[in-house]
Homo-oligomer: A and B are copies of this chain.
Amino acid sequence: MSNSQIKLEEINFVPDKNNNTPIYKQIVDYVNSKVACCDWVIGSKLPSQRELAAFFNVNRSTIVQAMDELKATGIIEGTAGGGTRIINNTWSLLMSSAPPNWSNYIKSGSFKSNIETIQTINKQEFEEGIIRLGTGELSPELIPNILNDEIIKGVQENNVKLNYLGPLGLLELRQAISKYIKRFGINVSPNSILIVSGSLQALQLISVCMLRKGSTVFVELPSYLNSLQVFQSAGVKLSGVPMDKNGIMYWNMKVDKHASDNSSLLYTIPTIHNPTGMIMPNERRVELVNYCKSIRLPIIEDDAYRELWLEDEPPAPLKSLDDNGSILYLGTVSKTLAPGLRIGWIVGPEPVVERLGDVKMQTDYGASSLSQWILYEWLESGLYERHLIGLKKHLLDRRNFVLDILNKYFKDIASWSVPKGGFYIWLRLNKKISTEKLFTLALIKKILINPGNIYDFSKNQYLRISYSYASLKDLEYGLKCLSEIIFDM
């Protein structure tokens, strides 16, 4: 039996005063329906009558009347503490059979729930009036009109039909990507490229195809990967490796001597690291690739932010140094063009991408062909490159704008480095405060932040501030407000 408290936020109902059904009865019906469909399970406690009256904007007596009826039909009962609790549901009263035990089912699967902060972020992002200070995506104003006339014309000339595609994805797109990534020094055929529905899916596929329970994925500390459950759900351990200013201190990896038998991997973001913004210099790259080669440890190189450099062009990807097929390279347009396309790619040895492609077929039968054709047009027409030039100017302006705000409001309470690309400023608070508490206090003021402990379970003094998403006005207001909250803590 559940013992949970039903929260007011879970109530998605407002009594309709113009309805012929009395208000108290509408509330009874609503409670019955929530109990009936198992949204509210047996044992759950209802909010207090006072809270319900305020929430529904009705007299307390209306709530009392509703509760009396619910008690009379045996749905709820009073508790010792004066509250009410669900004790039965309509079917077990009215019918012979109760609904399936859904709460048992949804706990059964192998896939873990998102960590709670992330679940909250995922939901709150779409609430009215929320200021998103940590969001890792482009502001709507920075996302181009994906279906502009030039693109539409191209698609129509190709007489595109949206059938299923083969296991590796649209050949034309793979050819275009093969051509495009040559500029980064990566020379591979389209057969070594698998189209995926974003980089996150790439990781998901790797986790179910290539890793066994108990194997290890090494990650930078902090790392974006720590915010995901994808590897943990496959029973894989994440092992954090500290970074210095040049990136992962690979010599600290505690690699098992039988690493390759254990199917361990290294996940790294060497170029405009998420969340720190670090760019690994070339010397460290060469060392890292040679070291991993010497111990036969494959590398997943996540290169999502490469093209968003704001000062000097970063060194070539690790993959360009890969002369024996040790590296799986992940690319995407989610950060540079439009996350809603949900298109990324994996570059790797043919047998690996074929295995991943086969499982992708079994998982979702391939990425949206529509998205693939549209992206093909963006790449082939040169519009993508032109878009990047303008985008980077906007991001530079936004970065500088936020640095000015930080200098104004945060210089006594935090420290940071100037990021040379990407979306994020990795802010270190001077005070040792709980960033989880800060998260809650900020949310009350409708400010959504990404606390550092999402990316590094041990640290509680960092925030990932993003200058890519919120409007300039919201960035200024939100950061000012945040500095005040921190000041008062």
A interface residues with partner B (beta carbon < 8 Å): 12, 36-39, 41, 91, 95-106, 108-111, 113-114, 119, 122-123, 125-126, 137-138, 140, 143, 145-147, 152, 155-156, 160-167, 191-192, 196-198, 200-201, 204, 207-212, 215, 228-230, 233-234, 260-261, 263, 293-298, 323-326, 334, 338-343, 349-352, 355, 358-359, 361-371, 374
Q: Which residue of B lies closest to A171 (CB)?
A: B126
Q: Quick check: A146 and B204 within 8 Å, CB to CB?
A: no
**Complex interface: chain B residues within 8 A of A165 (CB):** 126, 340
Find out whether the CB atom of B100 lies under 8 angstroms from the CB atom of A297: yes
Query: B362 touching A111 by the CB < 8 A rule?
Result: yes
Residue of B39, B156, B211, B351 touching A103 (CB-CB under 8 A):
B351
Q: How far is the CB of A12 from chain B (nearest CB, A)?
A: 7
| Complex CA–CA separation, A204 to B208 (angstroms) | 12
Residues of B within 8 A of A137 (CB): 163-164
Neighbour of A362 across the interface among B200, B351, B355, B370, CB < 8 A: B200
The reply to whether B370 and A98 form a contact with Cβ atoms under 8 Å apart is no
Copies in the complex: 2
B-chain residues with CB within 8 Å of residue A167 when the two chains form the complex: 122-123
CA of A369 to CA of B138, assembled, Å: 15
> Contact between B296 and A340 (Cβ–Cβ < 8 Å)?
no
**Is the beta-carbon distance between A362 and B228 smaller than 8 angstroms?**
yes
- A114: B residues at CB distance < 8 A: 358, 361-362
Is the pair A342, B367 in contact by a Cβ cutoff of 8 Å? yes
| Smallest CB separation, A331 vs chain B (Å) | 16
- Shortest CB–CB separation between residue A171 and chain B, in angstroms? 8
Contact B113 A324 (CB under 8 A): no
Taking the nearest CB of chain B, how far is it from the CB of A150, in angstroms?
A: 13
A263 with B370: in contact, given A339-B164, A362-B114 (CB under 8 Å)? no
Which residues of B have CB within 8 Å of A108? 209-212, 215, 263
Supposing A100-B297, A137-B163 touch, asked if A106 and B338 sit within 8 A by C-beta, the answer is no
| Bound Cα distance from A374 to B368, whole angstroms | 12
Closest to A296 in B: B100
Q: Which residues of B contact A298 (CB under 8 A)?
A: 100, 102, 105
Q: Nearest B residue to A363 by beta-carbon distance?
A: B204
Question: Which 3 pairs between the two chains have the least Cβ-Cβ distance?
Answer: A340-B369, A162-B340, A368-B368
Tell which of B200, B338, B350 touches A364, judged by Cβ atoms closer than 8 Å. Answer: B200
The answer to whether A105 and B38 touch across the interface, beta carbons within 8 angstroms, is: no
Q: Which residues of B contact A212 (CB under 8 A)?
A: 108-110
A100 — nearest CB in chain B belongs to which residue? B298
Is the Cβ of A99 less than 8 Å from the Cβ of B39? Answer: no
**Given that A191-B12, A368-B341 are contacting pairs, would A296 and B97 also be in contact in the complex, using a CB cutoff of 8 Å?**
yes
Give the docked Cα–Cα distance between A326 and B105 (Å): 12
Chain B residues with Cβ under 8 A from A361's Cβ? 114, 122
Give the residues in chain B near A110, CB-CB below 8 Å.
208, 212, 234
Contact of A351 among B102, B164, B210, B368 (CB under 8 A): B102
* A348 smallest CB distance to B (angstroms): 8
Complex Cα distance, B69 from A163, in Å, reads 46
A233 neighbours in B (Cβ, 8 Å) = 208, 362
Known contacts: A100-B297, A296-B97, A339-B163. The answer to whether A109 contacts B211 by CB under 8 A is yes
Q: In the complex, which residues of chain B have a beta carbon less than 8 angstroms from the beta carbon of A91?
A: 323-324
Whether the Cβ atoms of A324 and B97 lie closer than 8 Å is yes
CA distance A101 to B264 in the complex (A): 11
- A106-B355, A342-B369, A370-B374 are known contacts; what are 20 more A-B pairs with Cβ within 8 Å? A91-B324, A95-B324, A98-B324, A99-B326, A105-B211, A105-B260, A105-B352, A111-B362, A111-B363, A113-B358, A125-B166, A126-B166, A152-B152, A162-B339, A164-B340, A204-B362, A340-B370, A341-B370, A342-B365, A367-B368
